[in-house]
Each structure stands twice: as structure tokens, then as C-alpha cells.
Amino acid sequence: MLETLTAEIIAIGSELLAPDRTDTNSLWLTEKLNSIGIEVKLKTIVGDDDARLEEAIKDAARRSKIVITTGGLGPTEDDVTRKVAARALGRRLSLDETILEELRQRFLSFGYPMPERNSRQAMVIEDAEVLPNPNGSAPGMFIEHHGVAIVLLPGPPREMKPMFENHVQPKLVRRAGAVKVLRRMLRVAGLGESAVDEKIAPIYTQYENPQTTILFNQSEIEIHLTARGRTELEANALLDHLSEKLEERLGNSVFSFAGETMEQVVGLKLSVGGYTLAVAESCTGGLIAQRLTDVSGSSKYFIEGVVAYSNEAKTRTLDVKPKLLLKHGAVSAEVAEAMAVGIRKRAGTDFGLSVTGIAGPGGGSEAKPVGLVYIALADEVQTKSRKLQIPGDRQLVRWRASQAALDLLRRRLI
Amino acid sequence: MLETLTAEIIAIGSELLAPDRTDTNSLWLTEKLNSIGIEVKLKTIVGDDDARLEEAIKDAARRSKIVITTGGLGPTEDDVTRKVAARALGRRLSLDETILEELRQRFLSFGYPMPERNSRQAMVIEDAEVLPNPNGSAPGMFIEHHGVAIVLLPGPPREMKPMFENHVQPKLVRRAGAVKVLRRMLRVAGLGESAVDEKIAPIYTQYENPQTTILFNQSEIEIHLTARGRTELEANALLDHLSEKLEERLGNSVFSFAGETMEQVVGLKLSVGGYTLAVAESCTGGLIAQRLTDVSGSSKYFIEGVVAYSNEAKTRTLDVKPKLLLKHGAVSAEVAEAMAVGIRKRAGTDFGLSVTGIAGPGGGSEAKPVGLVYIALADEVQTKSRKLQIPGDRQLVRWRASQAALDLLRRRLI
């Protein structure tokens, strides 16, 4: 295995320890670091707590070659990063007159004098390189400390990201040297979790590089490949080699090769073929239309959607005959097909796609349990439907039904 | 300030250090711990890396009274938590024949013999209490270590959550003793960020307990209150007192008091009033219908939705006159109102709600820029519309437009 530089990320701020908050800066930083061959080995999330933060910085500097902190550089009492980092590294902290003057000017340019408390943002750690922050008042710092790079970045993403890209990344690239880490993700639809693993485990277990991880999302199976190479070319070739083998084994079930969503893939196929689409939804309640129109430019192929929640709406707007509803019930292959035909006729499109089902938690019966869903696709020549029995709660049933319907269309467009 | 017990959470698994993964177990655990008066002071995310994990466990046990790890209890080589925790705590690890036999039985009940590698899941740390796992093969452990509770939980949420609730929470409640931490969230719509802060900062800054944090989400402003009390009653009274003051100041703009979403609030009001609703969407593309029908039981009041993306669909299905489209353009107050009237008539509902706008990134002009949105609400008596200019990207414009439309209906229903 090629040796890679290792980094740690410390996210600072008590708000990041609340049950409804998650640190997203570190995800962005991880991607950036990986792309230049640096691996993140540990992440710490710590509150505005002097003692714990000091320890976290000391420990990280001992273990890893690169330590990046985010947050705690603001002007208030809670913003302790500067002070604590100085203490952890055993360096003095002193006021930088140049920065202070810049801060004053910044505030004046907004039309008011700098509040006194902001002067603490001009405190600089001994021998640190100051990283300018055109998007906020908190400058960052880059400190060389016994062969370890300590980087202090502000917390707000719109300040942190450009600072990293413009001032930190170039320095780290020089340090990272030879090894490149590249990732690729394949997305799979229409196959169960164990079916996927059974098919591809005999292949991917033969490779240490790329590494393969299989993740089970709400309705998609993601195959993550991570390759290391001396060059991007080499890492890419390793990814190509393995992903081709996996694709060959999984066939049409792989719908995405570079992180595209199902709705993007379907939209591209419609667009390229010059086809138009209309959608009739019952249990998915607009989710399919919403996913399709989430893609910019979708107005080219997405013409109309109807959410026919009630039987009356199915008859009124989709021309589903009351007799059919009475005979088979709203959740049936027959009604799904009639909905697909009805919306296609109404909108005058190439394709009509429909879903009807029981999302739950109420509305199920022994004959038609929660999770029973029919999807149908109508084109000029024929109408096809599929029956699904989807496990999971309301959100999951709706999501998986929308995914299966879009996948039905995708396979038709191949 | 009342003293609270402190906890640390260590999430274990190399996959948690990828740029597209975040540790959600710790959010759930934080909420549970907070609810019984325990504060989370630090979180660590570490890969399947013996040395770093050992250090993380040692450090945590030194700093905090409660240490909870998640993950790394599986049957593979990568699952190092048992082994490393034993080493970090200086305790022996030995095979527990009872657990081994249970594992064997578990596999037999599925119809096949236990794979040999699963036997490592029967290894138990000296003097640990074994926590049963009815939902998976990895038992958890609870270890009393020099006054610190060390808890090892499995990573999969459906195994981790019931194990915590049934076997860990009761033990921690006894330990936590007197202090209770309660949280409450108010959600605000129809007011800008700075307007909210300007209104309520003079109030909330007077209180140390509850603590107030304002978060700006994509379209909602959330006011988080955290109170500490010797009893739940006391903490609740503190929350009631401050939240009443804030609500008084913010009036109708506060739409949610206990975490309900806008669609839940609107759904409840429709349900209670016995009203029915139909929705006509252009730029939101089904998002409003999807949000409304995300609420279980929504079929009672949500009758029909139409996604009229093209002008033809607006005329065909919503009876918007071509002359009107020609004269004012699809994105206009007149067309929004005609859409609301049209869908209300088609569906025969009490209310018709509509949105038309330019979500971007394409389609904007100087006269009608990206982010220009009209929303309209029709009832038996009148039709009202509102013009919005929404900053942000496509997703944000769509989300905020859907929120503003739902809020228009909410205010009508008050």
C-alpha cells in the first residue's frame, strides 16, 4: 500500500454538540484533502471548552502530520480557538497592528466603527502565517509546528472554503507529494442488498487497492471504490479496471457512475432521445414530479404531473373509469395502467408514468397490505405495470416507489 | 448553573471518515442523553485503527463520566472495538460460551450454521455486563471502570437504538441524578433572519437559563431553547416562561412549537376545520404536494395536485386562458391567481393554492429574474396573491416558494 499523509480535523463550537446539528465542514474538507492524497484519520467535535480543546489540539499534533480546526475564531467570549491553540502549542499570542487596522477599515467600509470586542480577532499566534479572509472578519492561521501543519480556519463555510482553497490547499499539495487518492461511486437500483453483495463480493475481495465499501441507503445501493496511485492517472486506471468488472457483473442495475441521481440519469436519457414525459401519482404524492423537476432544464421533457390522491381525481383528471376502480380497487395493476395511459393522453407526451399504492401507516388490509405499490409505464405501443411489496415506513415506501417508477422508465430508455 | 453529568461519544468505523458520510448515531444518542440530564462534551470519529481508537477510549475515560462507543462490534477483521477497548481499559478478553451458543442458535434459526468468524462476537471484556441484541449478532457491553461507565454499542441504528433504550438508559438515569436538561424549538416563517434577531435579542439575552440559539435553516428560522432544572417540571416551567415571551414578540410568525413541520401544522388546521385543498404548481414541480402528502392521514384533506410545468398544461388542466398567459406571462400574479382558481374548481375543494415562478438557474430575464415567484390562494370568497423575490439556488428557491405558499394558507387558517 502506498503511504499517505494523515490529517485530523477538529470542529469547534458548542452548537455542534446539539442533537440536531452535524459538522458538515469536515465532509467538505475530507473531500478536498482526499483529492490531494491526504487521508483523514480522526475527527473531533468539541464545544467552546478550553481544557478539552487544548487537549484535543495537543493530541492531534502528536498523532498526525496535518491538523485542521474549524470554528471558534469569532469576536465573542465563546470564541476560544486562538487563545487555546496558542497555549496548546506553547506559543505566545500577540496583537497584530496590521490586522487590527484592516479590521477597522473593513467595518468602516460598512459604515460603522469596529466594535471593541472584534479587536481580539487581530490576535496572532507566534510565527503563524495569517490567512486573509475576504468574506468575514476572522483571519485564519497556518502554523508550522515541529513538522506538523496546524491550520486554524473560521467556521462559516462561505469563509472557510475559499480560505482553504486559496491559501491552505497549495501548501498541503506540496507536502502531500506523490500519493493520490481517488474515489468513485456506483449506484444500483432494482437489486436487493444481499443480491448485490453475493454477485460482487467474489470480485472486489480480490482487490486491496481500490478498496470497496458497500453502503445501503434508503432505496439505493452504493458501491464506493477508493484507489491510491502515484498519479491521478494511475489511481483512475485502478478505478476503471475494478468498476468495469463490477459493472459487467451487475449489468443494467448500475444506473450511476459518477454520483448522478436517478432523476438526473432519467432526465438525460429523455433529453437526449427528445422524449417527453407526464406523471400521475397517488401514494408518492408528487415526489416523482418533484424529483424530476429538481433537475435544471427539466421543463424540456417534463410536461405535466397530476397528484390524484382521491378516486374522484383519478376519474376526473386521469380518466380512470369508476367501474375499474370499483372492480379492482385504486391500488391495482389495472388502475396503475389506466393512470399511466390517462396522463399520457392528457399531456400528449411520449411516456406516461404512474404510481398507486399504500404508503401507510394506515390504509392497509390483509389483501392489500401497507407497502403494496403498483407502477406503470405507457408509451405509444404498450402499457406495462409492475407490482412491488416495499418494506419500511411511509417515507421509505414513498421514496422506494418513486425510485422503482423512475427505474422502470430508465430501463425502457436504455 | 446546575451541574450536569458529562458524556463523550466515540463513533468507530473507517466508512465514517469518508467525505459523504456523517455519524448520525451520535445525534440520536445526544438527544437521549440530554433528555436524562447528561451533556455531551466531545465526540470523536475514528476509523478501524487500533492505536488511535485505544488512545481515544483512554482519553475519554479520563475526562468524562460516561463514554459511549458505537460500531466496530461486527464479525470481521475490521471490527476492533472489543479487542481495543479491553486493551485500553487493561482488562482481559475471553470467550463467553453462553453467548457463543446463542449466536449459533441465532444462525441456525435462519437456516444455516454460524460462520466461524462470528465467534469473535462472543468475546467479552472482563467484568463487563453483556447487553443483549435481539436485532443483530453483536452483543453490546457495559463496563464500570473506576467510576466511569463505558458502553460499547453496535453501529447499525436498528440494533443500537433499542439496546440503548432498554439496557443503557435505565442505568444512566440512576447515575444522572438531579439535573434535567430539556430543549424546545420554535420555528418561524415569513420573517428574515435579522428581523427575528432584532426582535428577540433584547429578550433572550436576559436569560442564562434557558440558553437560546438561533439557527438559520434553508427557509426557516429555528429558535432553540435549552433549560436545566432540578426536575422536568422546573425545566419545563423555564422553557414555558421564555417561549411565551418570544411568541408574544413574534406573533403569528411562530408556526411550530414542538418541532412540527409546516406541512404538519397546515394539515392539522385543515383537518380540524374540515377543509379540503388542491394545489397547482409550476416552479415547485410537485414539492408542495409532496410535502403535504408526506403527512400520514393527508388523504382526508389533500384532494388533488397538478404540476403544470408547460403553458399548455396550465390551460388544459387548470383552465388558465391563453390570452392571460400571453398578456402577463406564466410568471405573474394574474396567472398565479388563475391557477389557484382553476385547481380549486377542478377539484371542488375549499381552497386552491398555487405557485408559479422562475427557479433558475436558467429562464430569468431583467424584468423577471431568477427567484421571482408568485403564490396565490383561492377560496369561495376571494383570491389573493403575493409576489416574492427569493435569493438562492434552484433547490432553495423551490423550497422557500413551497414554504411561503404553505405559510400563506396557514395564516388564512388562523
What's the CA gap between A324 and A161, in Å, rounded?
57
CB contact under 8 A, A17 and B41: yes
What's the CA gap between A81 and A370, in Å, rounded?
52
CA-atom Rg of chain A in angstroms: 28
Q: Which residues in B lie closer than 8 A to residue A47 (C-beta atoms)?
A: 41-42
Task: Please report, as a single letter, which amino acid is at residue A400.
Answer: R
Q: What is the pLDDT of residue B98?
A: 92
For the residues of B156-212, what is the DSSP string, one character each? Answer: SHHHHHHHIIIIIHHHHHHHHTT-EEEEEEEEE-SS-HHHHHHHHHHHHTT-SSSEE
Summarize the confidence of residues A214-239 as an average pLDDT.
84
Instruction: State yes or no: pLDDT of A1 exceeds 60.
Output: no
A308 touches chain B (CB under 8 A): yes
Candidates A4, A36, A43, partner chain B, best to mutate (most B CBs within 10 A):
A43
Q: If contacts are CB pairs under 8 Å, which of residues 16-55 in chain A contact chain B?
A: 17-24, 27-28, 30-31, 34, 39-47, 49, 52, 55
By Cβ distance, the residue of A42, A281, A304 closest to B46 is: A42
Q: Which residues in A lie closer than 8 A to residue B344 (C-beta atoms)?
A: none
CB contact under 8 A, B24 and A20: no
Range of weakest confidence among A124-138, A190-204, A264-278, B64-78: A190-204
CA count, 13 A, side-chain hemisphere, B151: 28
Summarize the confidence of residues A340-362 as an average pLDDT.
96
A132 touches chain B (CB under 8 A): no
A365 touches chain B (CB under 8 A): no
For residue A306, what are the β-bridge partners? A280, B306
CB contact under 8 A, A303 and B309: yes
Q: If contacts are CB pairs under 8 Å, which of residues 375-404 in chain A contact chain B?
A: 394-395, 398
What are the pLDDT digits (tens) for B313-357? Answer: 999 999 999 999 999 999 999 999 999 999 999 999 999 999 999
- Nearest Cα neighbor of A357 from B293, B379, B291, B143 is B293
CB contact under 8 A, B30 and A45: no
Summarize the confidence of residues A79-100 as an average pLDDT.
94
Q: Which residues in A lie closer than 8 A to residue B27 (C-beta atoms)?
A: 19-22
Instruction: State yes or no: pLDDT of B256 exceeds 60.
Output: yes
Q: Which residues in B lie closer than 8 A to residue A304 (C-beta atoms)?
A: 306-310, 313, 316-317
Whether the Cβ atoms of residue B39 and residue B6 lie closer than 8 Å to each other: yes
CA angle B364, B366, B372 (to 5 degrees): 50
> What's the pTM value of the predicted model, to 2 decimals?
0.76
Q: Which residue in chain B has the smallest CA separation from A217? A: B21
Residue identified by cell 424549538 is B185
Summarize the confidence of residues A162-188 as an average pLDDT.
87
Contacts of A142 (CB under 8 A, 6+ apart): A128, A129, A131, A149, A150, A151, A152, A167, A168, A171
Q: What is the pLDDT of residue B178?
A: 61
Whether the Cβ atoms of residue B383 and residue B376 lie closer than 8 Å to each other: yes
Q: If contacts are CB pairs under 8 Å, which of residues 225-264 in chain B contact chain A?
A: none
Whether the Cβ atoms of residue A373 and residue A386 lie closer than 8 Å to each other: no
Q: What is the pLDDT of residue B2?
A: 58
B273 touches chain A (CB under 8 A): no
Residue B77: count other Cβ atoms within 10 Å of its Cβ: 9
Instruction: State yes or no: pLDDT of A175 exceeds 90.
Output: no
Dihedrals phi, psi of A390, to nearest 5 degrees: -100, 125
> A347-365: string of b/e by CB count within 10 Å (b at 16+)?
bebbbbbbbbbbbbeebee
Summarize the confidence of residues B263-281 as an average pLDDT.
97
Q: What's the gap in Å between the CA of A306 and the closest CA on chain B?
A: 4
Pairing of strands B123-125, A140-145: unpaired
Instruction: State yes or no: pLDDT of B9 exceeds 60.
Output: yes
SS3 category, B376: strand
CB contact under 8 A, A63 and B55: yes
Pairing of strands B277-281, B351-357: parallel
